[in-house]
Amino acid sequence: MSDIPTTSTEATAGSPDAPAMPVPLGKGVRRFGRRLSDSALAYLLLLPSLIVFGVFAYYPLYRLFWYATHHQSRFRNRPATYVGFSQIRDTLTGTDFKDGLLHSGLFMVYTVPLGLILGILLAVSAHRRLKGIKIFQTIFSSTVASSVAVASVVFLTLVNAEIGYFRDVSWLSLKNPTSALFAVSLSAVWQNLGLTFIVVLAALQTVPDELIEAATLDGYGAIRRFFKITVPTISPALLFLAIVLVVFALQAYAQIEILTGGGPSGGTETLLFKIADPSGVRSLGEKASLSLGLFVLTAVVAGAQFGIMSKRVHYGD
């Protein structure tokens, strides 16, 4: 929105006759008038998106902040009281937030690298010109088309403590808090695999054959060629996936609800799960404070990824 006024200001200042001779009054007024109507038009054009953002982003953010700074009884008949930042401070330093942070962090650590590596491996193995390769490409990308709920139920038949196929596999047990979190993470990895596969495969297909051939002639072996030439070329897609997978991890809810319901003994309650609070043990103010914590965490992680990786990501010509 600042583009149009700035440009016309520059045009006025930069015109060659401006410093040398006094600008006739009429000309200046006309310019000012045009600038005014230009910016009016600009604001008018921006209005729809401002309204959308206002209603669906800024106002909810404001309400979030309002809830976080007010204490509200779980029984809504009493009015909320303003408590300043004390509720936010108490919540974000409490064990509930720390546990949620730990579980969300572990969920991220389990899902993001594993998801990326598996997706790349699958995509690389399916990226060749063979008869019938389309069948494999379809199978590998099929999880994209299944909803989280369906996928989680499918996974449940594998890891269910009573009837699951893998019920005796200790590191997938839903009875133990540590292994339960890992099992839930694995289901998320599996669900995201279709997306990771498709994005990496699409990126691989944009790498020109001649680039790989040139690298072959230069003397790169297959593995070094992959890491020195292919990976840098598809790095924007990998950065995109890393960010998306982190956001998915921080937003994971349905698979936790379906597989463990947050248990055993809160061992799979991630930050978002605590905010959603299906059993309703937290007050609105506490949940708003947790949300603020998650908001800041997401922003910091995404920002850090951009910061660290953008130096190593190459965006073509």
Dihedral angle computed from the Cα positions of residues 104, 107, 109 and 112, in that order, rounded to the nearest 10 degrees: -110
Using the rule CB under 8 A, which residue among 148, 198, 215, 249 binds other proteins? 215
Given the rule CB under 8 A, which of 71-79, 150-158, 224-232, 256-264 is the region that contacts other proteins? 224-232
Separation of alpha carbons 257 and 186, rounded Å:
15
Element (H, E) at 163: none
Q: Is 132 in the site for other proteins (CB under 8 A)?
A: no
Q: Which long-range CB contacts under 8 A does 275-283 form with residues at least 24 apart?
A: 280/74, 282/96, 283/71, 283/72, 283/73, 283/74
Q: Which is nearer to other proteins, 66 or 227 (CB)?
A: 227
Look-up of token digits 């401006």: 18
Number of residues that bind other proteins (CB under 8 A): 21
Q: Is 218 in the site for other proteins (CB under 8 A)?
A: yes
Separation of alpha carbons 198 and 307, rounded Å:
25
- The CA-CA-CA angle for residues 200, 148, 283, to 5°, reads 120
Angle in degrees, 0-180, between the axes of helices 235-251 and 284-310, rounded to the nearest 10: 170
Q: Is 316 in the site for other proteins (CB under 8 A)?
A: yes
Q: Which is nearer to other proteins, 122 or 215 (CB)?
A: 215
Q: How far is the CB of 238 from other proteins (least distance, A)?
A: 13
Q: How far is the CB of 118 from other proteins (least distance, A)?
A: 25
181-210 footprint of other proteins as x/- string (CB under 8 A): ---------------------------x-x
Q: Judge whether 197 and 122 are in contact, CB under 8 Å.
A: yes
Q: Which is nearer to other proteins, 169 or 214 (CB)?
A: 214
Q: Is 216 in the site for other proteins (CB under 8 A)?
A: yes
Q: Which two tokens stand for residue 275?
A: 């905010």
Using the rule CB under 8 A, which residue among 213, 295, 296, 310 binds other proteins? 213
Q: How far is the CB of 312 from other proteins (least distance, A)?
A: 9
- The CA-CA-CA angle for residues 292, 286, 70, to 5°, reads 90
In Å, how far are 55, 121, 250, 302, 311 from 299, measured between CA atoms? Answer: 21, 29, 11, 5, 19
Q: Judge whether 97 and 271 are in contact, CB under 8 Å.
A: yes
Q: Is 224 in the site for other proteins (CB under 8 A)?
A: yes
Q: Judge whether 250 and 290 are in contact, CB under 8 Å.
A: no
Q: Which is nearer to other proteins, 13 or 217 (CB)?
A: 217
Separation of alpha carbons 132 and 129, rounded Å:
9
Given the rule CB under 8 A, which of 65-73, 86-94, 242-250, 309-317 is the region that contacts other proteins? 309-317
Q: Is 156 in the site for other proteins (CB under 8 A)?
A: no
Which residues in 231-260 contact other proteins (CB under 8 A)?
232-233, 235
Q: How far is the CB of 205 from other proteins (least distance, A)?
A: 16
Q: Is 217 in the site for other proteins (CB under 8 A)?
A: yes
Given the rule CB under 8 A, which of 14-22, 44-52, 197-205, 229-237 is the region that contacts other proteins? 229-237
**Which residues bind to other proteins, rule: CB under 8 A?**
208, 210-211, 213-221, 224, 228-229, 232-233, 235, 314, 316-317
